[in-house]
Each structure stands twice: as structure tokens, then as C-alpha cells.
């Protein structure tokens, strides 16, 4: 089946196809052919209901960058022999193909603060390079994706209408999330504040979405499905969520979840290197909040999915989404423990960046 779709790009049936990466939503393969190496993806269209919106956004972004920032390196999908950037096959779904960038590699977890710094610079640079593109020209590929008040309502619905035995089991986590709903109120203030700008936002800043070169310098960001208008708290927040702790969201031993200060400093320095002049003073003061926002939202999403019998994320073992939610709540507690200390780091770095 995959071979047939690849033939619309002129790729030979003898090409080697291997599963690649660890995303929860799309399926990804590496394709090795005599004509070159590629990354091949099936778009999950239960999640992305309008895959053509993704293709349109990538087209809009690449046209803008080619014109305004011709030196900026950026990976675009390869066109089929017929000139399409997405292939649709009935009963199979939507597929696209990217060139595999030579001498590049990805990492699955941040192993050094230097990697975290490089990634933060790349995500900051991406937003900065697109600052002259009017955000409203981008299509919404996932409505309300990082709308925390909507996520909170979804969670409340799951608490009322979900699996009754799971609701009972998760009482203490449900309580905790409700007690901390001030995180949602702060988000509502942000939405209504003129100090917070909508910019071109990546919305999936895990470290495996950055390509590194042989010297571990960042080359560019990849996986542009969720690029939409958004707030900087989404991008910085997901970096804090996924790089600060050495243990991932799948870890069951929550004692392994810690906040590594040197990774916080690296994300801060890397992001501000590109974005210090773009962020308003008020936005900068919400740097630590952005981590709380994303971790809280991910806990809500994992827990709501558990209560709804795992319809969104699926589960490789019984209770996986419950473990993920508990894991994220531990991470949130650890971050809150250090909130003031990290805030001081932000203020010090912002002062230096202005001088
Ligand atoms: C999903 O598929 P992946 O791993 O890139 C999810 C993110 C979550 C993440 C949690 C479209 O991303 O929002 O943070 O899982 N993407 C979508 O691991 O829902
Ligand atoms: Mg993704």
C-alpha cells in the first residue's frame, strides 16, 4: 500500500521503508531509495479534519520566506509527479513526503542544555522570521488546539459524562486540577490583554521537532502541522514541559521527575536570543507561567482522555493515560515549587538582553 502511494512521487517499489520517530498522532516512516532518502507521513485525519489546510499553510509560509528571508533554511513537502503536496487515497488517508535533510539528525530527549538552547533558538527564530506575515493569513488546522478554557470545559464534561469507575478512581487528580483552575483564569486574561500578541506559533516544540547538524547546532524546525496563530506561551511552555525533566511524560516512577535549572536557563537564553526584542515586557514576565499553562493543559487532556476511555490518545496498556496525567501533575508541582526562583532568572536574563 505504501509503495503504491510512493510511486506517485516516482519512488521505486524497491525502496526501503522503516518506521520513524515517536509521535502520538501521525505515522512516520523513513524511506531509502536510490533517488535519495525521504520522510514519509500519514496524516491522522481523525485529528486534522482538513489536511488541505496544513498544505495551504506550508505553501503560505514558504512563499513568504522565499521572498522575505531567502537565507532561512526550511523543509517543504515534495510534490507528486502531478504537482500535489498531499496524496489522498480512498480508505487509506492523506500522505506527504519530505526530503530527508542530509547530515541532519533528531534527538528524542534533551540530553544536554546545549541542545535545549539550540532548539529554543530555532523555535524563536521560526516565529521571528515570520513576523511580517499577517497571522490571520494562516488557516486554523486544529480549532481551539491550545485554548485552555475550551480544554477545561472538555475536562469538566469528561468528569460528568465519562467512565464512572475511572472518575471515581481519579478523584484526587480531578480535585487538584479544579483547585488550580486559576491557571485557566490567567489564560483568559492573556486572551483579553493587548500586551499579548498573536504570532506565527509552532505549537509542538518537543525536541524531536528540531533538526541538528553533526556539531549539534540547530538546523531548522520540522513538523509544521500545528503552525497557526498563537501565543508565545504555547511554544515556550511545551519546551519547558518536555525538556526540563530528564523523565518523559511516559515515566511511571514520578520520583524521577525533577526540574533541571540549567535546562531552564538554556531555554530562556536560546529563546530570548531571537525573541527578546519581539516579546513585550509583560509577555516576558509570563515565561514561567507558560510552563504551568502547558503542563496543566496536558494533564487535563490526558486525564479527560482517560475518563473518556482513551478515545484520543489510545493506550498501549490499561491506565496509560492516567499515568501520563499523574506524571504531568507531578511535573506541575515540581515547577510550582521553583516558580519564584525561576522567575528571578527570567527577570535577570531579560535585563541583560535589553542592555
Ligand atoms: C501529540 O503526536 P505528537 O506526539 O506530536 C499532541 C500534542 C501533545 C503530545 C503529547 C495534534 O503530539 O498536543 O502535547 O501528543 N498533538 C496533537 O505527547 O494532539
Ligand atoms: Mg506533532
**How sure is the predictor about 146, in pLDDT bands with cuts at 50, 70 and 90?**
very high
Q: Exposed/middle/buried for 164, CB within 10 Å: 0-12, 13-18, 19+?
A: exposed
Residue matched to cell numbers 527570567: 346
* DSSP for 300-336, written as a single string: HHHHHHHHTTSTTT--SSTTHHHHHHHHHHHHHHHHH
**How sure is the predictor about 277, in pLDDT bands with cuts at 50, 70 and 90?**
very high
Pocket test for ligand 1, best of 21, 24, 227 (most atoms within 8 A of CB): 24
Report the candidate in 151, 187, 186 with the shortest Cα–Cα distance to residue 303: 151
**Pairwise CA distance, residues 235 & 212, whole Å:** 18
**Pairwise CA distance, residues 35 & 32, whole Å:** 8
Composition of the chain by helix, strand, coil, percent to 5: 50, 10, 40
Q: Examine the pLDDT at 1 and tell me if it is beyond 70.
A: yes
Residue 257, pLDDT score: 98
* Ligand 1 atom nearest to 241, measured from its CA: 14
**Pairwise CA distance, residues 19 & 11, whole Å:** 17
- Mean pLDDT of the chain, nearest integer: 95
**How sure is the predictor about 271, in pLDDT bands with cuts at 50, 70 and 90?**
very high
Pocket test for ligand 1, best of 42, 151, 204, 206 (most atoms within 8 A of CB): 204
CB atoms within 10 A of CB 319: 14
**Contact status, residue 77 vs residue 71, Cβ threshold 8 Å:** no
The stretch 48-52 carries a mean pLDDT of: 93
pLDDT, tens only, 298-313:
999 999 999 999 999 9
Indicate which ligand has the atom closest to the C-alpha of 22: 1
* Ligand 1 atom nearest to 225, measured from its CA: 11
Cell triple for residue 120?
A: 529554543
Helix 287-307 with 148-161: angle, nearest 10 deg: 30
Which are the contacts of 326, defined by CB distance < 8 A and separation ≥ 6? 173, 254
The beta-strand segments (E) located in 208-323 are 210-212, 218-221, 228-230
Q: Cα dist. 198→16, 127, 201, 270, 283 in Å? A: 42, 11, 8, 21, 11
Amino acid at each position: 500500500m505504501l509503495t503504491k502511494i510512493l510511486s506517485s512521487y516516482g519512488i521505486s517499489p524497491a525502496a526501503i521503508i522503516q518506521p520513524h520517530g515517536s509521535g502520538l498522532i501521525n505515522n512516520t516512516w523513513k524511506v531509502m531509495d536510490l533517488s535519495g532518502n525521504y520522510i514519509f507521513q500519514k496524516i491522522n485525519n481523525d485529528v486534522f479534519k482538513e489536511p488541505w489546510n496544513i498544505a495551504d499553510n506550508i505553501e503560505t509560509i514558504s512563499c513568504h520566506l522565499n521572498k522575505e528571508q531567502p537565507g532561512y533554511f526550511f523543509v517543504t513537502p515534495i510534490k507528486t509527479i502531478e504537482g500535489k503536496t498531499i496524496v489522498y487515497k480512498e480508505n487509506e488517508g492523506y500522505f506527504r513526503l519530505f526530503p530527508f535533510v542530509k547530515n541532519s539528525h533528531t534527538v528524542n530527549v534533551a540530553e544536554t542544555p546545549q541542545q535545549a538552547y539550540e532548539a529554543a533558538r530555532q523555535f524563536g527564530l521560526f516565529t521571528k522570521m515570520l513576523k511580517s506575515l499577517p497571522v490571520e493569513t494562516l488557516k486554523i488546522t486544529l480549532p481551539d488546539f491550545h485554548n485552555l478554557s475550551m480544554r477545561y470545559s472538555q475536562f469538566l464534561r469528561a468528569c460528568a459524562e465519562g467512565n464512572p469507575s475511572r472518575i471515581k478512581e481519579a478523584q484526587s487528580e480531578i480535585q487538584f486540577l479544579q483547585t488550580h483552575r486559576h491557571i485557566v483564569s490567567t489564560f483568559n486574561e492573556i486572551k483579553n490583554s493587548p500586551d499579548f500578541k498573536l504570532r506565527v506559533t509552532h505549537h509542538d516544540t518537543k525536541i524531536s521537532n528540531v533538526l541538528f547538524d553533526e556539531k549539534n547546532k540547530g538546523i531548522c524546525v520540522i513538523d509544521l502541522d500545528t503552525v497557526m496563530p498563537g501565543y508565545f506561551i504555547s511554544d515556550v511552555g511545551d519546551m519547558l514541559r518536555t525538556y526540563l525533566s530528564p523523565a518523559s511524560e511516559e515515566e511511571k516512577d514520578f520520583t524521577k521527575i525533577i526540574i533541571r535549572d540549567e535546562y531552564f536557563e538554556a531555554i530562556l537564553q536560546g529563546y530570548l536570543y531571537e525573541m527578546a526584542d519581539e516579546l513585550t515586557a509583560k509577555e516576558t514576565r509570563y515565561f514561567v507561567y507558560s510552563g504551568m499553562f502547558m503542563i496543566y493543559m496536558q494533564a487535563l487532556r490526558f486525564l479527560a482522555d482517560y475518563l473518556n476511555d482513551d478515545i484520543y490518545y489510545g493506550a498501549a496498556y490499561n491506565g496509560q493515560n492516567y499515568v501520563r496525567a499523574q506524571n504531568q501533575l507531578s511535573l506541575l508541582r515540581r515547577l510550582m515549587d521553583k516558580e519564584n526562583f525561576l522567575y528571578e532568572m527570567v527577570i535577570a536574563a531579560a535585563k541583560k538582553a535589553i542592555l
